[in-house]
């Protein structure tokens, strides 16, 4: 059976990309990384992907007449590699409406909060400022509205009294590295069903799409 071909978009170190590379290298994993595209030529993740033997491309957003022009260039590169699922892994660009429409149902992101709470940037500090007792990460479909697409899966972590932004971010990131490869596996196995704003993961336990960590 052919493996699902994924394309990963990054802007920086690409730690979630690295987690997906490790997963894809494991025997029996049903997805393969067709390409990695960055908008930043000096993104450390580009070298990581290249060292892993993955096709890479850099497409700068600078100098483009508008967002959609850049988005179309990125899309053309993904299409050239036969990508079936686009995975955002620290891609620090806001798309024009064209891109999520073109890749509707085939474009996912991981966000370091329990959406719909704490959208945008510095969300770990937002969580600390709000005094919540649980935070975590969310994998969701990408739509034209920022951080508002249907939720696929979440991982929750405790917020400790001793936490600062760095400590909470690190704890959440460890769960991101668990959750993202799992969700990509579900896609490859055809187990994700989206109906409107609700997503169902079939063929598993009812609570398969929620991970808990008691990690201190």
Q: How far is CA 109 from CA 51, 62, 76, 136, in A?
A: 24, 23, 19, 14
- CA pair distance 118, 130, nearest whole angstrom: 9
- Residue 209 confidence (pLDDT) above 90: no
Q: What is the predicted pLDDT for the residue at 214? A: 59
* DSSP code of residue 8: E
Residue percentage of the chain with pLDDT more than 70: 97
Domain 110-216: CATH superfamily, name plus number = Formyl transferase, N-terminal domain (3.40.50.170)
Which of the following is catalytic: 111, 122, 140, 177?
111
- Residue 206 confidence (pLDDT) above 90: no
Where do the CATH 3.40.50.170 domains begin and end in the chain? 1-103, 110-216
- Residue 215 confidence (pLDDT) above 70: no
Q: Tell the CATH topology of 1-103.
A: Rossmann fold (3.40.50)
The helix/strand/coil state of 15 is helix
Residue percentage of the chain with pLDDT more than 90: 93
Count Cβ atoms within 10 A of the Cβ of residue 203 and give its class: 0-12 exposed, 13-18 middle, 19 or more buried. Answer: exposed
111 is catalytic: yes
């Amino acid at each position: 059976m052919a493996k699902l071909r994924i394309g990963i978009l990054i802007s920086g170190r690409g730690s979630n990309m690295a987690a997906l590379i490790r997963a894809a290298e494991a025997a029996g994993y049903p997805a393969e990384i067709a390409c990695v595209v960055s908008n930043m030529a000096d993104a450390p993740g580009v070298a990581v992907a290249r060292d892993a033997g993955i096709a890479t491309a850099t497409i700068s957003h600078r100098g483009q007449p508008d967002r959609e022009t850049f988005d179309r260039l990125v899309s053309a590169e993904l299409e050239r590699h036969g990508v079936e699922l686009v995975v955002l892994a620290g891609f620090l660009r806001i798309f024009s409406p064209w891109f999520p429409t073109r890749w509707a149902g085939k474009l996912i992101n991981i966000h370091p909060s329990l959406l719909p709470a704490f959208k945008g940037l510095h969300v770990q500090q937002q969580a600390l400022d709000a005094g919540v007792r649980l935070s975590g990460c969310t994998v969701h479909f990408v739509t034209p509205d920022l951080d508002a697409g249907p939720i696929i899966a979440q991982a929750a972590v405790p917020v400790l009294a001793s936490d600062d932004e760095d400590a909470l971010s690190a704890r959440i990131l460890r769960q991101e590295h668990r959750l993202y490869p799992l969700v990509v596996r579900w896609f490859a196995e055809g187990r994700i069903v989206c109906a409107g704003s609700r997503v169902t993961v079939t063929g598993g336990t009812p609570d398969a799409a929620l991970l808990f960590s008691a990690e201190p």
